[in-house]
Structure 1
Amino acid sequence: MQAEIITIGDEILIGQIVDSNSAFISKELNKIGVSVYQITSIQDNRNHILDALEIAHERSSVVIITGGLGPTKDDVTKSTLCQFFDDELVLDKKVLAHIEMLFKKYIPTPISDLNRKQALVPSKAEILHNAHGTAPGLWMKKGKTVFVSLPGVPFEMKGLMTSAILPKIINEYERPYIIHKTIMTYGLGESAIAEKIEDWEDNLPDAIKLAYLPNLGRVRLRLSTKGTDKESLVLALESEVKKLYPLIGDIIYGEEEDESIEVQVGKLLTQKQLTLSTAESFTGGKIAQQLTSVPGASAYFKGSIVSYATEAKVKTLGVSEELVKKYSVVSEEVAIAMAENVKQLLETDFAIATTGNAGPAKGDSDEAVGTVFIGISTPERTFAKKFVMGNHRERIVQKSVNKAFELVLKEILNF
């Protein structure tokens, strides 16, 4: 099956919001064997919407449309769908009752005629109940193509995709299996990995495709295949993955799709009943943020001290002033002290510490911009490593965060 996504909204085109809806929809469709071949973002403009619908009709089996279903004049998706399908808007009493219930129960402002207009729907559409909002989903067919219109509010869209759209596609269409296997690597760049696995890549079966997905110190290798026999597809991918380990096994940190390194760290800490804390300087709490983005992190992550200024490192973390004066605040010695001290303060088994110059100015150290030290404290030892991460501030910070996770994961694995 070939699908495409059309997102409607000026706010996307001017960069006011990020189109997270398309990423979610693509991933969920892929899981059930539907390949997305096109994502298009367009204005809330009738002619633009009609053009996009016509082009999508010619090439796709399923078209998912998000946005433009609100009650105000700039939301023209429903009326444009009526034009495209030669249809008209009619009042749906069930939708109206749901809207009135939402206002009575959850919304403090009085319901208006604009809100009630949300219950006007194309007469040819199958109405999909939106439990979380006032705009229902719409399922419409033209020839062999299904057009699905969903609200642009992410949690409303996700609810409709999960409860209605995906089950309907599964029930009404025969689909192939699309299988992915993603290998997580850390510490080696894309081109260096490509050189190491060149012969392996050249000898991949035609049905298996390889994609390199680099991101600041980490590279994901995604193997993909498609077919009707799920078991044989899985076995084929596993066979090729086994051949990778003798080539780059030292930089592979996981295989599971969608499992980030912070998730792996959390799982290992939970399994081994261990805890972690962080002391961050130039990374500004980003390591802690990624750790706490994982549900259940409170079981193993005890907290973080963001000691951005030198004074905070001394007064809050207890790093010796003499140590700072002797070695500089950006140094192996200070990184070690930060890691050891936060581990003691928060009573954890492991700790991560970061200190460095992310730029643009050098701050309280003479080390060059891009120089960072990452400290790791374990139940058995504490050490720090020096890295030079370039001269772009955002890149320095994120590469350092990734490297910190790589270092601590290796220590937890070996403990």
Structure 2
Amino acid sequence: MKAAIITIGDEILIGQIVDTNSAFIAKLLDKIGVEICEMISISDNKQHILDTFNNFQNKVDLVLITGGLGPTKDDITKKTFCDYFDDVLVVNNEVLAHVTQIIEGFYKRKITQLNKDQALVPSKCTVLHNLVGTAPGMWMKKENTVFVSLPGVPYEMKYLVENEIIPKVVREYKRPYIIHKTILTYGQGESMVAERIENWENNLPEFLKLAYLPSPGRVKLRLSARGTNKEFLEKSIQENMTSLSKIIGDIIVGFDEDETLEKVLGSLLTQQNKTISTAESCTGGKIAQILTSVSGASRYFKGSIVSYSTETKMAVLGIPEDLIKEYSVVSTEVAKQMAINVKNIMKTDYAIATTGNAGPLKGDSNSELGTVFIALATPNEVIIEEFNFGQPREKVIDRAVIKSLEILRKEILKNV
């Protein structure tokens, strides 16, 4: 089964908002074996919408459209549906009762004609009732293609996809199994990972596909299988992941898209009943932000000092002025002292410290742009490493954050 996703809205095309709806829809359809052929964003223009519908007609089984279902004049999707399906708008009494209840019962104000117009739907459509909003979904079929119109408001769209679209597709269509498994690697770039697993990749069976998903400091490997025998596909993926682990097990952190490095670290610290703090300069608190993004981080994360300026390093972290003058703020010695001092201040088992020249200016140090010192204070010692992550600034910061967490993970694993 093949599908396309269309997002309607000028606000997307001019960059005013980001289209997150398509990604959500695609992920859920993929889980039930629907192949996404195309995603596009188009303007609130009647002819453009009609042309797009025509382009997908009989080329895919399912077209999902989000946006353009509001009560204002710029929302034209329902009228365009009528033109495409040679239909007329009629009042759906069940939708009208629901809209009235929301406006007069919940918001406590008199319903307007614009609100009532939300209950207008094409006479031939199957109405998808939206219990969390006022705009209903519409399911209509022309020849071999089903067109489904959904509201653009994310929480309303999500409700309809999860509670109406997915169950209906599962009931009415026969689909293959599509299985994905993600392998998370940290510490080596895409080309190096590819070189290490070249022979393994070349020997994958035809029904297994490998995709590289790189980002600064990490590479996700996604294995995808498509077929009619779910048990066979799952067994094949598992066997190939086991053989992959023997090749690059040293850089594999996890085997799930949601099993991020920060979640792995949270689990390790919790299991060992250990705590962590950070003293950040060039990373500006981003390490602390990532660590605390994990639910339950308060069990192991005690705090951070973002000592961005030289004065803050001295006044808050207690770094001696003489040490800074002798070695500069971007140095092994200062990074080491930052880690030691924040560990003592926060009374933690581990402490990470970063100091460097992220760019584009050098600041209070003459070190090369991209230079970063990362220090990790452990219960027994202080580990310091020097890196040059190049430019631009964003790359330096991201790489420094990932490398800091990677160093911490390797050290914690020594005690497992």
TM-score by length of structure 2 reads: 0.94
Identify if the C-alpha distance between structure 1 residues 272 and 133 changes in structure 2 by more than 3 Å, giving closer, same or farther: farther
Q: Does 1:326 align with 2:334?
A: no
User: Which is worse superposed, 287-296 or 9-18?
Assistant: 287-296
Partner of 2:338: 338
Partner of 2:100: 100
Identify if the C-alpha distance between structure 1 residues 163 and 346 changes in structure 2 by more than 3 Å, giving closer, same or farther: farther
Aligned residues: 415
Partner of 2:114: 114
Partner of 2:396: 396
Superposition map of 1:9-408 within 5 A: 9-104=9-104, 107=107, 111-408=111-408
Query: For residues 265 and 290 of structure 2, what CA distance do their matches in structure 1 show?
Result: 11
* Alpha carbons 2:209, 2:225 under 8 Å: kept: yes
Query: For residues 292 and 135 of structure 1, what CA distance do their matches in structure 2 show?
Result: 37
* Alpha carbons 1:279, 1:305 under 8 Å: kept: yes
- Residues 72-105 of structure 1: CA deviation (Å, up to 9, x unaligned): 1111111111111112212223323332333345
Identify if the C-alpha distance between structure 1 residues 204 and 117 changes in structure 2 by more than 3 Å, giving closer, same or farther: same
Structure 1: 5+ residue runs without aligned partners? none
Query: For residues 39 and 372 of structure 1, what CA distance do their matches in structure 2 show?
Result: 40
Structure 2: 5+ residue runs without aligned partners? none
Letter in 1 for 2:391: N
* Alpha carbons 1:4, 1:37 under 8 Å: kept: yes
* Alpha carbons 2:66, 2:149 under 8 Å: kept: yes
Query: For residues 372 and 108 of structure 2, what CA distance do their matches in structure 1 show?
Result: 51
- Residues 171-208 of structure 1: CA deviation (Å, up to 9, x unaligned): 22222111112111111111112222211111111111
* Alpha carbons 1:210, 1:222 under 8 Å: kept: yes
SS in 2 for 1:63: strand
Identify if the C-alpha distance between structure 1 residues 289 and 96 changes in structure 2 by more than 3 Å, giving closer, same or farther: farther
Query: For residues 97 and 279 of structure 1, what CA distance do their matches in structure 2 show?
Result: 58
* Alpha carbons 2:262, 2:291 under 8 Å: kept: yes
* Alpha carbons 1:136, 1:151 under 8 Å: kept: yes
Query: For residues 163 and 381 of structure 2, what CA distance do their matches in structure 1 show?
Result: 50
Query: For residues 350 and 156 of structure 2, what CA distance do their matches in structure 1 show?
Result: 40
Letter in 1 for 2:406: E
Letter in 1 for 2:190: E
- Residues 233-280 of structure 1: CA deviation (Å, up to 9, x unaligned): 111111112222332222111112332212222222233333322222
Identify if the C-alpha distance between structure 1 residues 172 and 400 changes in structure 2 by more than 3 Å, giving closer, same or farther: same
**Shift, 1:106, TM fit:** 5.0
| Sequence identity percentage | 59
Identify if the C-alpha distance between structure 1 residues 224 and 317 changes in structure 2 by more than 3 Å, giving closer, same or farther: same
**Shift, 1:44, TM fit:** 0.6
SS in 2 for 1:84: helix
- Residues 140-194 of structure 1: CA deviation (Å, up to 9, x unaligned): 2223322221111222212222222212212222221111121111111111122
SS in 1 for 2:96: helix
Identify if the C-alpha distance between structure 1 residues 91 and 245 changes in structure 2 by more than 3 Å, giving closer, same or farther: same
User: Which is worse superposed, 188-197 or 310-319?
Assistant: 310-319
- Residues 98-157 of structure 1: CA deviation (Å, up to 9, x unaligned): 323333455477643223322222222222232332212222222332222111122221
Letter in 2 for 1:96: L
Letter in 1 for 2:326: K
Identify if the C-alpha distance between structure 1 residues 255 and 137 changes in structure 2 by more than 3 Å, giving closer, same or farther: same
* Alpha carbons 2:58, 2:144 under 8 Å: kept: no
Identify if the C-alpha distance between structure 1 residues 116 and 351 changes in structure 2 by more than 3 Å, giving closer, same or farther: farther
